[in-house]
Chain A
Amino acid sequence: DGGITQSPKYLFRKEGQNVTLSCEQNLNHDAMYWYRQDPGQGLRLIYYSQIVNDFQKGDIAEGYSVSREKKESFPLTVTSAQKNPTAFYLCASSPPEGEQYFGPGTRLTVT
């Protein structure tokens, strides 16, 4: 089955710790994205990558980092510099036509 997987589904961390969220896709899409969703809000773009070994900052990149070493994988690290990291994190991928397909998401809670 083709799709996007994210792990873990729920993640709990203490303040001051870095945490890495996994995103893998087997849809053969070149483009991948990370979004953040807060309660009652739309999706905000954190980072995106159009091709392996290249990525660009989105609207809210501060406190986050990514890598794109393989076409299938686009992990997101939430660093201790991110002031309000508790949120629902969504990974997506898209073909050249532009429609984005989402993974199931990771709910991060930082206390």
Chain B
Amino acid sequence: QKEVEQNSGPLSVPEGAIASLNCTYSDRGSQSFFWYRQYSGKSPELIMFIYSNGDKEDGRFTAQLNKASQYVSLLIRDSQPSDSATYLCAVNRWDSSYKLIFGSGTRLLVRP
């Protein structure tokens, strides 16, 4: 079992729809959860981080964390073609807040 799992996609949604990206993790000791966006050929860009169970909203983005189910998700409201990218989920290791484990990413396509 991978430590951080994401569906590779592509996830295809029409413009204006809600895109839902999911991530599961195996380490119950993880405390910090991050979502990054990576455009093709570019480096990852931090979108959001979440530490507590529940929802955290920032503009069109909402991160949701459920530690009991070991599940973190990212919702993108009013999806735009410019949101088309690969979204990486990252989780800190139980033994170090400095070390992150990255999933392989979910590719999102927003159709105009």
Contact = CB atoms under 8 A, between A and B. Distances in A.
Interface of A: 31, 35, 40-45, 48, 50, 58, 90, 94, 98-105
Contact of A102 (B4, B44, B49, B92): B44
Given A31-B98, A48-B99, A104 B105 contact: no
B98 to A, nearest CB: 5
A40 B34 CA distance: 19
- Which interface class (under 10, 10 to 19, 20 to 34, 35 or more) fits B? 20 to 34
Contacts of A102: 36, 43-46
A31 B99 CA distance: 10
Interface of B: 4, 8, 32, 34, 36, 42-46, 49, 88, 90, 92, 97-100, 102-105
17 contacts: A40-B104, A41-B104, A42-B88, A43-B44, A43-B102, A45-B99, A98-B97, A99-B34, A99-B49, A100-B34, A100-B46, A101-B46, A102-B36, A102-B44, A104-B43, A105-B42, A105-B43
